């Protein structure tokens, strides 16, 4: 399988990165109201398809089985060493397109925070990518609606990344819990 993984596959791998789980538990994390699903959600069938694709890549593997409460036997899956290495590499790679920042960059940042993986260098590299994209948009002669949208998106991304890179943000995040996940 030589194609680049889909974002849903990265999301499933991130859920399994440090905690083995069965497909139902992964799907629960990826529901729209789940801790990861609030950034990138997947239906249960797409979650299971992503898990199958990750197994085909040998980035996850079965670790155990448990009986479901009145349902079928559940297979507990865990990330392999290769899967964990690929996930860390993906996490530390900046997103090349403005259109993917809201989904892919935010997903990377959520997992980096959740798994306590330092992505400071990626955020700095992402700032460079976005600055270059913003410069190219500023130099564009045509001011059509798409160019204007991209320019505004780039400006918002620049502000966000500047805040992500600030010492104040990092210091404040240590003292703030996410209201969406309190009580879980």
Q: What is the pLDDT of residue 32?
A: 97
What's the average model confidence in pLDDT over 49-64?
98
- Outline where the chain has alpha helix (H): 7-16, 23-29, 44-56, 81-91, 106-115, 120-139, 145-164, 167-173
165 contacts: CB under 8 Å, gap ≥ 6: 120, 123, 124, 127
Angle between helices 7-16 and 81-91 (to 10 degrees): 120
User: Would you state the structure tokens that stand for residue 121, as one six-digit string?
Assistant: 């260098």
Return the CATH number of 7-89, one of 1.10.3720.10, 3.30.565.10, 2.30.40.10, 1.10.10.10. Answer: 1.10.10.10
Q: What is the pLDDT of residue 17?
A: 98
Measuring CA to CA, how many Å separate 26 from each of 21, 29, 51, 56, 178?
A: 7, 5, 9, 17, 20
Q: What is the pLDDT of residue 169?
A: 52
Task: Note the pLDDT tens digit of each residue in 67-113.
Answer: 877 778 899 999 999 999 999 999 999 999 999 999 999 999 999 99
Cα 118 from Cα 112, distance rounded (Å): 7
Q: What is the pLDDT of residue 72?
A: 81
Question: To the nearest whole percent, how much of the chain has pLDDT over 90?
Answer: 77
Q: Which of 78, 108, 81 is nearest to 93 (CA)?
A: 108
Residue 68 contacts residue 50 (beta carbons within 8 Å): no
Q: What is the pLDDT of residue 165?
A: 80
Cα 77 from Cα 20, distance rounded (Å): 5
Top-confidence residue, 175 or 163? 163
Name the pLDDT band for 143 (thresholds 50, 70, 90).
Answer: confident
Task: Note the pLDDT tens digit of each residue in 21-34.
Answer: 999 999 999 999 99
Cα 40 from Cα 114, distance rounded (Å): 15
Residue 173 reports pLDDT greater than 70: no
What are the residue ranges spanned by the domains of the chain?
7-89, 95-173
Name the pLDDT band for 178 (thresholds 50, 70, 90).
Answer: very low
Helix or strand or coil: residue 67? strand
What's the average model confidence in pLDDT over 38-57?
97
Q: What is the pLDDT of residue 167?
A: 59
Mean pLDDT for all residues in the chain? 89
Q: Residue for token digits 């620049």?
A: 158
As beta bridge partners, residue 76 has 64
Of 1-5, 52-56, 80-84, minimum mean pLDDT range: 1-5
């Amino acid at each position: 399988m030589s194609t680049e993984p889909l974002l849903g596959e990265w999301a499933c791998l991130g859920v399994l990165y440090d905690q083995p789980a069965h497909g139902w538990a992964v799907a629960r994390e990826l529901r729209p109201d789940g801790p990861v699903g609030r950034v990138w959600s997947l239906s249960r069938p797409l979650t299971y398809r992503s898990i199958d694709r990750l197994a085909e890549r040998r980035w996850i593997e079965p670790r155990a089985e448990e009986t479901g409460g009145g349902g079928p036997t559940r297979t507990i899956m865990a990330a392999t060493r290769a899967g964990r290495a690929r996930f860390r590499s993906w996490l530390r790679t900046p997103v090349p397109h403005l259109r993917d920042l809201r989904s892919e960059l935010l997903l990377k940042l959520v997992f980096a925070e959740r798994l306590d993986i330092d992505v400071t260098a990626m955020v700095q590299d992402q700032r460079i990518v976005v600055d270059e994209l913003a410069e190219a948009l500023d130099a564009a002669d045509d001011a059509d609606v798409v160019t204007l949208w991209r320019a505004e998106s780039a400006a918002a991304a620049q502000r966000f990344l500047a805040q992500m890179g600030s010492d104040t943000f990092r210091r404040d995040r240590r003292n703030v819990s996410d209201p969406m996940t309190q009580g879980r």
